[in-house]
Chain A
Amino acid sequence: MEKNINITVKVWRQNGPKEKGRFESFKLNNISTDNSFLEMLDILNEQLINDNKEPVAFDHDCREGICGMCSLYINGHPHGPDDDVTTCQLHMRKFKDGQTITIEPWRSTAFPVIKDLIVDRRAFDKIIAAGGYVSVSTGGVPDANSIPIAKVDADEAMDSASCIGCGACVAACKNGSAMLFVSAKVSHLAMLPQGRVEAARRAKAMVAKMDELGFGNCTNTGACEVECPKNISLSNIARLNREFLSAKFQD
C-alpha cells in the first residue's frame, strides 16, 4: 500500500579514480514507498539539478534485475537490505520513515571507482576472456538434439549460468575474492558435455587471471552467497576447487 516517507541519504561522492572521496548528506521528503530505490535516486538528482548542483553518478540500465549494471552498497549490504534482488528491484517500502540510508560504491582493489558510485568492472570481462567459453566458432556445429543432456544437469547448469556479473560477491567478500563469479561460470560449462571437453584448461586459466587482476583469496566465509542477488550457490566454489585440483593433477 502506498505511503510516503522522509529520509536522509548519505552518498559517497568522488570526482575521479585518483581523487579523494567524501560523504554528502541530502534530505528527501515525501518519497513514495512504491518507488524503487533507483527512482528515489532519480528524485534526488532532479532536486540537485534544480538546485544547480551536480547529480550523483550511479550505474544502472535494465532496471529489472538482469543486466547486472546497478551496483550500490546500501547500509552495509551489496544491493541493500532485501533478499535475492538487485538494487534496481529494491523498493522504498523496505525503509522506514526518518531513516538515514548510506550509499557507497563497490569497494574492491579490482574495481576502481570511476566517479561517485560508479566502478570499473572490466576485470570480470578479462576473466571471461581468459577461458569462460566453449571454443567453438560460428557454423559447422552438430544438431542441437544430437547430444542428450540429463534434465537435472541442464537445470543445474542453468542455475550456475544465471549469474549476472554484477560483482556483489566481490563487494561482500572481506578478501575481495571473485571466486563465486568464477566458479559459477566454470560450473555452468563443466556440467554440460559441450563445455566438459576443455573444463580443466578453463578452470586453470580463469583462476590464474583472477589472481593476476588483484582479486583476493577465498576463505569460505560465505558472505558472497548471502549477498548474491541471483542465489548463486557456494557449491559452485566446491566444484571449481575440484575442477582446479584435478586439472593440476593432470599437469
Chain B
Amino acid sequence: MSKINARIPEGPLAQKWTNYKDHQKLVNPSNKRKLDVIIIGTGLAGASAAASLGEMGFNVKNFTIQDSPRRAHSIAAQGGINAAKNYPNDGDSVFRLFYDTIKGGDYRAREANVHRLAEVSNDIIDQCVAQGVPFAREYGGLLDNRSFGGAQVSRTFYAKGQTGQQLLLGAYQALMRQVELGSVTMHTRTELVDIVIVDGKARGIIARDLVTGELHRHFAHAVVLATGGYGNTFFLSTNAMGSNGSAIIKAYHKGAMFANPCYVQIHPTCIPVHGEFQSKLTLMSESLRNDGRIWVPKKKEDAEAIRAGKKKPSQLSEEERDYYLERRYPTYGNLVPRDVASRAAKERCDAGFGVGATGLAVYLDFKSSIDRLGQKTIEERYGNLFQMYEKIVDENPYETPMMIYPAIHYVMGGLWVDYELQTNIQGLFCCGEANFSDHGANRLGASALMQGLADGYFVLPYTIQNYLADDIATKRMTTNEPEFAEAENAVKARFEKLKNIKGNRSVDSFHKEFGLVMWDFVGMSRNKKGLQEAIEKIAAIKKEFWTNVRIPGNLTGMNIELEKASRLADFIEIGDLIARDALGREESCGGHFREEYQTPEGEALRQDDKFAYVSCWEFKGNDVAPELHKEELIYESVKMVQRNYK
C-alpha cells in the first residue's frame, strides 16, 4: 500500500467537512483528562490549538523556544486575515474564497482542505471578536474590510498594521487562561530536539532546556508540531531570527514525509538589502498595495541617474514612469498575487530599470493616494508601517516614494499531512505554516493567519479526537522506555559532535554563505543547471560545516551559538531538499519559477499532465538521496486553467 493516503472524506466537496464531523470518533470528558497532548510552538496555530484542547479537557504540554508564548513570529503579520463574511456585500462567499485560494495557489493545493479552510474562516472572525481582538471598525460600529492581492472582493479584516499581533495576543490570552486553570503546562525557552516513536506511533519528545542545556523526556499520546516555516534557510528573510525548520526536520528523519519543499513565497514588498552585515529583511505589508502604486523609470538613463544620486524620483513626470503592474495586468493592477508581483519587479530590475544604490529596488508610491484621500487617511491606515520604514531607511515615505524589493517571506511547503492534519507517522500532527496543506504553490495575502487559526481552533480539536479515541486505553509511559533513552542518547551525541568540531568559522559565516547559494540558485527564478550546481555547493558547505564550525561555550548552561549551529545543520538539509524538489518539478507554478517553463509573455507555465501532484520526500539516510512519493491532485469542483490576472 502506498504510504500516501490523504483520507479525504466521501461526498460532495461542500459536504465533506460536515460529514466528517458527523461521523468522526469523539473522546468523552472523563477520558480527555487521561490523554496527554504535546504541542510544539505557540504561534497562531500552536497557541490556538493548545488553548482549545485545554478548554476541552485534554492534558496539554506546550513548548516554545522564546521567553514567552506571546513572542511567536505570527505576531509580526501586519496586513490582515481573510474570511468569507461578505459584510461589504461585494459578492463574496465560501466558494469564492475557496476558489480564489485554489487559483492563487496555482492549482497545486488539495481541494477538500481548502474548502474546509474557507468554511471555518467566518468562525475565526467571530471567535477573535469575542476574545476582544480590536479589529478596525466603521463609524457605524461594524467591522471594516480591506482588499488584498489575488481577490476582487474586500474580505480582509485587520487591526491597524498589527493584525497578527492582535490575533496572537487573543490566542495567547486564551492560552494563559488555560495555564492558570491547570489544563496547559507551559515550557518556555525549551526546544524540541527529537521526537520519540514507540511501535510506529509518536509518543513523546526529547526537549532541551535552553537556559540550563539539560535534556528532558516528555511523554504524550499525540504530538502536534506547529513550529512555523523554514524561510530562514535563505539566511535573509522576513522571518524572525529564531524561526527555524528543526522540528519538522526531526519528524522527517523519523519517517514523516516532507511535502513540496520548493514552494517558497517571495514577498514583493520588503525593504531592500543594504549591506553585508544585514541580519534580516523587513516586510512592508501587502496592504500598502491598496493605496501605493508600483513603478520604475521608463527610460534607463533616468534609472541610472537615480542610482547615481543625480536625480530624484519626484523629478520624473507621470509620462516618464512605468507603472509596470498596471500596464501588464490591467484587471488586478497593483493587487496581483505575490509571486506575480515579485517576478515583475525582478524582471524590471534585471532589465536595468531598478532604482536605489544597488539597482535592486522599485518604487511604491503613495502620492496619488495622498492627493486623493489626504495624508491623514493614509496615516490612519498605515501610520505604523510608514514610521517603521522611516526608522530603518531614514527617508520620509510621505514625501519620497518607498523603495521595495522581493524577499523570502513564507513557505507553502512543509510536513505532509492528510485531511486530519496527521503526518504519515501515526499520532504526529502538524498545523499552520509547518504543514504543506492549504496554499498550494503560492499563498494569498491574509491567508496565513486564517490557516493558522483554522487549524488550531476549528480543525485539529476535531480531527485529533478521531485519533485519540482509539488511544484511551494506552497508559502514560514512564519515559524510561528504551525508545526514549535511545532518542536522548542520539541527541546528546549530536550536540557533543557539534561542540567537538572546534573549527575556525562562526555559525553565521556558514549561514550567510549557504543563504546566498540558496538565493542565487534556488530563489526567485530557477533553472536546471543552477539547481544542479546548488546541490553540489550545498553538499560542500555541509561538509565544511561539519568539520570547521566553531562553537564557543559549553553544552551546559545557555549557549546560543550551539542552538544556532544545530538549527543551521537542519537548514542545510532543508536547502538540499528545496533544490532537489525544484529540480524535479519541471514546470513553473506559483512561487516555483523555472526559467525553462514560461509563456512568451514571461508568465509561469504549468505542466498539469505531468506535475499535478504533491511531491512527498521520504528520508533515506544521511547523504543519501531521498525518495519521491506522489499524491495526485484530483480536481472535482474546479477546472485547472492558466492563472490570468490580466
Instruction: State the A residues within 8 Å of B (CB).
Output: 2, 15-16, 32, 34-36, 38-39, 42-43, 45-46, 48-50, 52-55, 57, 59-69, 82, 84-85, 89, 91, 93, 114-115, 118, 120-122, 124-125, 128-130, 132-139, 141-145, 147-151, 154-155, 157-158, 161-162, 164-165, 188-189, 192, 194-195
Contacts and interface: CB of A to CB of B under 8 A. Distances in A.
Contacts of B263: none
15 contacts: A62-B71, A62-B73, A62-B241, A64-B282, A66-B76, A82-B391, A115-B211, A137-B174, A138-B457, A141-B130, A142-B130, A144-B126, A145-B85, A158-B159, A194-B131
Contact of B68 (A93, A121, A151): A121
A12 B392 CA distance: 26
The contact size tier of chain B is 35 or more
Interface of B: 48, 51-52, 55, 66-73, 75-76, 85, 87, 123, 125-132, 134-143, 159-160, 162, 164-166, 169, 172-174, 176-177, 179-180, 186, 188, 211, 240-242, 274-275, 277-280, 282-283, 387-388, 391-392, 394, 457-458, 461, 506, 508-509, 550, 552-553, 557-558, 560-561
A226 B596 CA distance: 57
Nearest to B73: A62
Nearest to A67: B71
B509 A151 contact: no
A138 B171 CA distance: 10
A149 B141 contact: yes
Contact of A154 (B68, B131, B134, B282): B134
Nearest to A162: B162
Contact of B277 (A32, A59, A60, A120): A32
A148 B142 contact: yes
> Quick one: which of B73, B130, B387, B388 has the most chain A CB within 10 A?
B130
Contacts of B177: 129, 133, 135
A56 to B, nearest CB: 9
Closest 3 CB pairs of A and B: A148-B141, A133-B173, A141-B130
A52 B503 CA distance: 10
A118 B558 contact: yes
Contact of A125 (B128, B162, B176, B277): B176
A97 B186 CA distance: 45
Contacts of B458: 138-139
A124 B176 CA distance: 11
B309 to A, nearest CB: 9
A67 B75 contact: yes
A47 B76 CA distance: 30
B134 A157 contact: yes
Given A59-B67, A60-B241, A138-B51, 13 more contacts: A54-B552, A61-B71, A63-B282, A115-B557, A144-B125, A144-B129, A144-B135, A148-B142, A151-B139, A154-B135, A158-B162, A162-B160, A194-B131
